[in-house]
Structure 1
Amino acid sequence: MIQSLPALRRQFDSEQKQFHDFPADDPRCLQPLSLEQCKKQAKQLLKALNQGQAWSRTASHPKAESLQADQLKLADAQLIIAREQGFPSWPKLKHHVEASEMAARAIQSGRPDPLDGQLRTLHIRCGTDVMYKLAVAGFRGDFLCFADPFIQGPVPAETDRQRFIDIRSSFIANSNWRLKPQAVKDLTADYDALEQIGDYQRVCFWFEHDAYDVLVFSKLLHFLQDRTKRPEQMAFICVDHYPGVARFNGIGQLPVESMPLLWQQFTPLEEHHIEFGRQCWEAYTAPTPEALSQIVNLQAPAFPQILPALKRHIKELPWRADGLSLSERLTLQILHEQGPQDGAKLFYHWYTSVYEPLAFMGDSSYWKVLSHLVEARRPAIELVKGSSKPIDWQVSLTGFGRKLLAGEGHWQSHNDYDVWFGGVHNRTPGKLWYWDDEIGRVIQA
């Protein structure tokens, strides 16, 4: 459903809503950069480098191999500090800090500039996590949440829209996320809204670098291959970091004053982006993963921002070595190394914030991973359900789980398997598609 951001701002104020803030010591919490602090750090770094200390940090300097300790200047130290924070230069860091402070002051005043006010704009995101933040930050356009968790369940190459909606809504209902009639209603409304994007002058896609976002983005790009559906202008972000955030999982974790800074990073969406997105979607929805395997091994993709997510997600296929997906193996590894624990600590702390190399699942998707590991003839984990809430479940390894980690067992040798990966329906009996990490491609065995 398309919603007005000014109306959402009025609702935010009238209902006295509050944004969630991470604890200051949480690695997902933004630690705002201070220009004075960065200047102080640069002087301290220069002193250390001149004395031949902290030399490993010069790796961030573009001329690291030719640097000499007695010839380094303050500008060199400032450049190292800037590049460590993800900026190409010290002036770029300085601009970011000043722009952040200006945005914060404007938002606190209650009268931020309407950054998107020049054109009738639709903002599209695969969730509602930034919806109110955009409204409070002063954006004046409309907002569309287009969220279908394509990371799980059947995603076949179905051209009939209603048939596709029926397949996805059945999966959502069977996962106990929504009743099927509501899922059908919601997905139908989302697809109806897509038909309206050509009525806008500009459409902006707010995405990050993980598989959940990238697969939704690919679906939208596949939709936009029809030129008659397109607005006059299109732009996107696909963010993989943010200065001052140690553990960046997504733009939803950023505070409201970050939204105007992200707006400055938008890039025009061009034909080669749309074409590569189309290829990715068709590869993901194909009945075999061979085309996707070829895409993730491209050396110079046309849309490099979305490739890391696909490289990570293809590893959700069972691995040839033990029959586990990467998320399943990481779960067993956590329980082995950190011991038995409740679902909340397992997912929110260890899995999402420490072990997972590219976080892409929400908690409801992760509970499905746990269910798969326990609802089997020979389970890899044990769940003690003290309540109906997965966050309260007590999770521990079984003996078979330990054997799997030790390389002494294979999941499909002891358990039935019936799992969808995009358009691939992997099920026993019969051959399965596996990810072979040693050779970096898929195989059927």
Structure 2
Amino acid sequence: MLHIVNGDIVAEKLKQGVVPGDVLVWREIYSEGPVFLDPSDPAARSVRADYLEKAMGIPRKEYIEGCESQEQKLRRFKDYDEIVLWFEHDLFDQTMLCYLLYWFSKQKMGQTRLNLLCIGDFTGIERFRGLGQLSVEQMGTLSGTWHLVKRRELEVGRAYWEAFTSSDPRGLAKLLQEDSSALPFVRNAFRFHLSRFPSVQDGLGKVERTTLEFIAQGLNQPMELFWQVSDELHEFGMGDLQYWWILKQMASGTQPLIRFDGAEAAIPSYIDPSEDFRHRRILLTDTGRRVQDGKEDWVVVNMIDCWLGGVHLLEKERVWRWDEQEESIV
């Protein structure tokens, strides 16, 4: 039996006698940076590796070697009678789940059975954020509760992955209107993804707007902000390195939204924790206040250059925006 899981914490707990078999941690952050239909394509991987090294300091060589290693293990899936996918409800997990369902939908499974365990809550935990919260004993209660993946689950996962990696986000918005009950968490997760696009109202994505709101309330320490924003937007499943990169983008450009007060300190990255950064204050700029008050549009007054799934938003090109009320991309 092979268990494919969403992180090292979950893997270590499963290895403590919770389940029989091998454990493969799927190490990816598809919710960050450029994502392509076939991530194993060398050209696509090169673009993604460059981005992740720039954004979060993940060494290019380490990233590429890690991807190749996990893909080699995945291709040996027929060595196992059963495979179990362990995932959660948030965007971080749902992107991984949809990719794996897309990949398995193209395989001839032979005698290997593909199973799924995907949860959004757990009895006794009021604010469930993920499998990593659970104790070894609690994880043990999930053993055997998975179910055989059916054709409809493969179809929905494949459709969402194809739409997520498309350069035209309207297909993903259209999917939100269709029946996706075979994967009960996929709609909310990818609806949140679309809310990260610049809003038609102010040019802000949901993470940036929520950050400005908390700063305006007086929260100005990086770690304090990270915990509050990630808790408020729990459907994102955002990691701290992702958030530091978002803050860096908010503080960049000709008219930034925020500024860092105090002594100069590097933004933390994968290879540099930069502890001094955690003690700096984050303040709104005049532009940040005007955008928050609805007097400016951030895309109009500042440069935009970012990736959301398969969509590359550039200032000099048509910029896709999210209309919250209509739940549509325009």
Asked if these proteins are the same fold (TM beyond 0.5), I'd say: yes
Deviations 1:227-282 (A, max 9, x none): 32566211112211112222211111111111112224312211111111111000
Q: With structure 2 as the length reference, what TM-score do the two structures score?
A: 0.91
The answer for the alignment partner of 1:341 in structure 2 is 220
Contact persistence 1:272–1:302 (CA under 8 A): yes
Is 1:376 the counterpart of 2:253? The answer is: yes
Mapped partners of 1:131, 1:345: distance in 2: 28
The 1:160–1:181 alpha-carbon spacing in structure 2 relative to 1, beyond 3 Å, is closer
Contact persistence 2:313–2:320 (CA under 8 A): yes
Q: CA deviation at 1:202?
A: 0.6
Contact persistence 1:276–1:303 (CA under 8 A): yes
Corresponding letter in the other structure for 1:342: Q
Match of 2:88 among 185, 208, 213: 208
Deviations 1:196-243 (A, max 9, x none): 112211111110000010001111111111232566211112211112
> Structure 1 unaligned runs (5+)?
1-120
Match of 2:55 among 175, 178, 189: 175
SS in 2 for 1:138: coil
Match of 1:365 among 223, 236, 242: 242
Superposed, 1:13-92 pairs within 5 Å as none
Match of 2:307 among 405, 420, 428: 420
Is 1:395 the counterpart of 2:250? The answer is: no
Corresponding letter in the other structure for 2:229: Y
Q: CA deviation at 1:184?
A: 1.2
Superposed, 1:38-437 pairs within 5 Å as 121-158=1-38, 161-228=41-108, 232-299=112-179, 301-337=181-217, 339-348=218-227, 350-353=228-231, 355-384=232-261, 386=263, 387=265, 388-389=274-275, 390-437=277-324
Q: CA deviation at 1:137?
A: 3.8
Instruction: Give aligned-pair identity as a percent.
Output: 27
Corresponding letter in the other structure for 1:406: D
Mapped partners of 1:229, 1:244: distance in 2: 37
Corresponding letter in the other structure for 1:351: V
Count of aligned pairs = 320
Larger Rg computed on CA atoms: 1
The 1:137–1:394 alpha-carbon spacing in structure 2 relative to 1, beyond 3 Å, is farther
Mapped partners of 1:409, 1:367: distance in 2: 24
Q: CA RMSD in A?
A: 1.8
Mapped partners of 2:115, 2:280: distance in 1: 43
Corresponding letter in the other structure for 1:401: G
Q: With structure 1 as the length reference, what TM-score do the two structures score?
A: 0.69
The answer for the alignment partner of 1:88 in structure 2 is none
Q: CA deviation at 1:419?
A: 0.9
Structure 1 or 2: more helix by fraction: 1
Corresponding letter in the other structure for 2:242: S
Deviations 1:81-121 (A, max 9, x none): xxxxxxxxxxxxxxxxxxxxxxxxxxxxxxxxxxxxxxxx1
SS in 1 for 2:13: helix
Deviations 1:43-96 (A, max 9, x none): xxxxxxxxxxxxxxxxxxxxxxxxxxxxxxxxxxxxxxxxxxxxxxxxxxxxxx
Contact persistence 2:180–2:187 (CA under 8 A): no
Contact persistence 2:156–2:180 (CA under 8 A): no
Deviations 1:361-385 (A, max 9, x none): 1000111110110012111111136
SS in 2 for 1:275: helix
Structure with more relative contact order (C-alpha pairs < 8 Å, separation 6 or more): 2
Corresponding letter in the other structure for 1:256: V
Mapped partners of 1:230, 1:422: distance in 2: 32
Contact persistence 1:156–1:287 (CA under 8 A): no
Q: CA deviation at 1:415?
A: 0.7
The 1:263–1:333 alpha-carbon spacing in structure 2 relative to 1, beyond 3 Å, is same
